[in-house]
Structure 1
Amino acid sequence: MDFAFDARTEELRAKLEAFMTAHVYPAEQVVEEQRAALASPWDTPPVVEELKAEARRQGLWNLFLPDEEHGAGLTNLQYAPLAEITGRSPQLAPTALNCAAPDTGNMEVLAQFGDAEQKKRWLEPLLAGEIRSAFAMTEPEVASSDATNIETRIERDEGGTSRSSGAESGGSYVINGRKWYISGAMNPLCEIFIVMGKTDPESPDLRRQQSMVLVPRDTPGLTVKRAMQVYGYEDHYHGGHAEVLFEDVRVPVGNLIGEEGGGFGIAQARLGPGRIHHCMRLIGMAERAIELMCRRAVARTAFGKPLAQQGVVQEWIADARVAVEQLRLLVLKTAWLMDTVGNKGAHTEIQAIKIATPRTVVGILDRAVQLHGAGGVSQDFPLAELWAGARTLQLADGPDEVHQRSLARREIKRYM
């Protein structure tokens, strides 16, 4: 069993760590100063575009895509330590490398399921970092943890004509529904939505009722109604999380991704890599928290001695280190399985990391906040925002309980 990273991974790790030190960490304060001067809080600060240009110049671009035609051609195992490094500054680094959700998942969908025209029109500018995108699945009126509950309708109109990107086509899909927490939708650069809804709500197969269609942002009837907050944060870095209305939104039939009834399967193919990417970055967030804890512990004195000499603080730091090492090994094993036996073969491990990683990292961040006292909940440290992001990942891409239920049933089935 070899735990060493290969030569290419080590080379990219060194380049990325140098990029983070020289460019990303210094930009964390700059981006806040620039945002205050923007006409809209959703506009992109100039320093972000500078980071993107520098990352692309250094070859640190689209690292998440294993497809050599469109991405860096890295395996999941090669990408894992790189995503971990970006997790140390999750608001900036993934965007700088064009490796930020939801664009990553949307690019994967288009690369795997899109036709030639869809790839030309939407995938290429996404790969170039020229536009952003959104994935519209979650709804406020149903328990979206069960994707078969989705109520948005996508109805075929054979006689209608539609206009999208200047093209007319006989036959359309008409979309009606309400979505929320649609990541990236507040960003003015978000030009395309991948929308999941039901094309055949009467199908006896609940997993063949849904389809996915591409909806350009400027399509009549699409309204980005409001920004949704996450523990009071608006998450400007990722383009926010919006409530979106679809009212008689009409797009050409050619905007269908894959086949009718294939939406559920596409969603599962999309969410598998997304789940492990989140876990990779979460480990980086935990490492940032441990670093901040240690720096705070040696710099502050309470009750006559440094915090670093307080037994409870030592326990927090030791427990955090043990937990991170455990999580990292499980994530790397999962990445290796995805590369060798596929996502289906790694299903148990994907669910295990999705359960364990956010929960554990939330605990580490909570201790880091506690160690920083009032500073921990302030804007002067990244801990509060990191905590909010990690806590949200216990809901995103399927809440813990859904994964626990599925994992337990698989385990029990072996004994039936």
Structure 2
Amino acid sequence: MSPNGRSLLNIIILGFSFMFIFTAFQTCGNVEQTVIKSLNATDFQGSGYTSLAIIYGVFSASNLISPSVVAILGPQISLFLSGLVYSFYIAIFIHPLTWTFYTASVLLGIAAAVLWTAQGNVLTINSKDTTIGRNSGIFWALLQFSLFFGNLYIYLAWRGKSHISDVDRRTVFISLTVISLVGGFLFFLIRNPEPLNEPSESTDSLLNADTEESNNKKALQVSVKKEMLLLSPSISYSGLEMTFFSGVYGTCIGAMNLLGDDAKGLIGLSVSLLGSERFWVRCSRFGRNPVVLLGLITHLLAFYLIFLNIASDAPIAPEEGTNQQAYMSPSTEVALLCSFLLGFGDSCFNTQLLSIVGFTFPQDSAPAFAVFKFIQSISAAVAFSYSNYLLLHWQLLILVLSGVLGTVTFFAAERIAVVNHRDSDYDSI
């Protein structure tokens, strides 16, 4: 197999592995607050929002050490061990206990930092400047399918149910645990890429294990570069909107009693639509800026429709839900359309962020992706924290303001990255 073919195969395997793991984890995250509301009548006293806030808070701190872990263990072993922790977290819901739930949340935060740093490293060493956009798109498309399969099952299994029984819960989470384990073992199919070009200092720096001090120093150096500072608002917004669509919006739909008896099942169907977009493959030929702008416009439309369709107290409603109405009669069709728009816009932002980080920092991919995930996870932790308390319209206002700011700064970062890359190519002639 040619070097290009092997590298492409590695990206496809990486995407399928993440698809299985996040089919399980995303489904778990989308329904856990609803499931926990049914559990809180028992001895279990936990909060899905609090757990996710812990995960992303620990995640952000752990990004300081994740480049060193990946450098020492190698990306393949790092991916596999992290995948096992994801499976452990999901398995907690088979027989949930409060202390194991929050302990697993801490462990998952650490594992997530290692997993995504290793992912960024594998993506970069299997890509060239001309293929980084394509490869990040392929990876993100496969990852987005994770939102479809598990949540479609949730819709079919929980349709018409107002309360999640123990049998329903165990059946779902045993299945999700097995799916997650399959994804973890797929990482062993990834092979070391053959050189796409002549060996270079940048390739050697990615393949050789550095010391912890060196990796931390690189991460700090990357974090204060002009390009990363300009990308920070965009990355932060991606964390905020990821929190909203992956944890808050599904809970809001499930809490809307005016949507009828199918509201709980609609959690799964709505989130499954988030993963149904693969538009970026064709859009990427027009450059990163138009795709990000399209993502912003799509998200602004979704936020406006959600504001009109979903009651303001839906994010913090009790188990019995809310009977309040927003500014229009609640519509299932509009709720599902908003799910599609949220996923479409999320694909716009995340594919282009993955692409520009790999394009801008090819020699320091692991530290750069660690900084990327550090910023994103801090934002997600903050968002999950305020999701316990803020009404829906305040959460939407935060998303609108941060989305506009993030888009403007992304344009500036893209301009600098292209100019620097053009100057670098000129100097190498």
Q: TM-score range by the shorter chain?
A: 0.3 to 0.5
The answer to which structure, 1 or 2, has the higher relative contact order (CA under 8 A, 6+ apart) is 2
TM-score normalised by length of structure 1? 0.34
TM-score normalised by length of structure 2? 0.33
Computing the radius of gyration from Cα coordinates, the structure with the larger value is: 1
More helix by share: 2
